[in-house]
Amino acid sequence: MPDVTGQRLDVAEGSLDAAGLDHRTVGGGTLGVIMHSRWQVCAQSPRPGLKAFEVTLIVARACAVPPATGARRIVPDVRGENLDAAEAHLRIRGLGYRVEASDEIVVRSHWIVCEQDPLPPARGRTVELYVSRDCDSWGD
């Protein structure tokens, strides 16, 4: 897995295409990503150096610089996101996280964040993620 973090989205996609990797984009605002050259890759999942067939790219117009280590940060709402995208969002913000699942997680992108603690707009250092393969039956 090449490291495309910090690159323009169009450049990152070209690198991933050349490496034969499938990719999808998370982010892009209300209208989504229209001009790929105007978006930046803030994080990727899985992380660089791992073997994978697909990568999720978390994009923004400009990536935020994470605050100082140990600072309490505003917690984003990652409910409804698949686990790998939620983890990438939290890493971008410099937040730690713990994952609670009822079964062994094999493919992270198949798991959805059903609940989280704390909820936004709280501030914190870590977030507890409660995940399931199907949030409709979560908590039954």
The CATH number of the domain where 81 resides is what? 3.30.10.20
Q: Are residues 15 and 49 in the same domain?
A: yes
User: For residue 125, is it within any domain?
Assistant: yes
DSSP 15-83: HHHHTT-EEEEEE-TTT--SSGGG-EEEEEESPTTS--SEEEEEEESSPPPPPPTT--EEPP--TTSBH
Q: Are residues 77 and 130 in the same domain?
A: yes
Give the single-character DSSP code of 119: P
Number of domains in the chain: 2
The C-alpha torsion from 69 through 75 and 76 to 77, rounded to 10°, is 150
pLDDT computed for residue 99 by the predictor: 92
Q: Are residues 108 and 80 in the same domain?
A: yes
pLDDT computed for residue 13 by the predictor: 95
Per-residue pLDDT of the chain (140 residues; tens, 9 = 90+): 888 988 999 999 999 999 999 998 987 776 778 889 988 888 888 878 788 888 989 888 877 665 555 678 889 999 999 898 888 888 877 888 899 998 888 888 889 999 999 998 898 888 999 999 999 876 55
Structure-token pair, residue 51:
């073997």
Residues 6+ apart with CB under 8 A from 69: 94
Q: Are residues 55 and 107 in the same domain?
A: no
Q: Are residues 42 and 90 in the same domain?
A: no
Three-class SS state of 94: coil
112-117 and 96-101 beta bridge pairing: unpaired
Look up the domain containing 99 and give its range: 73-137
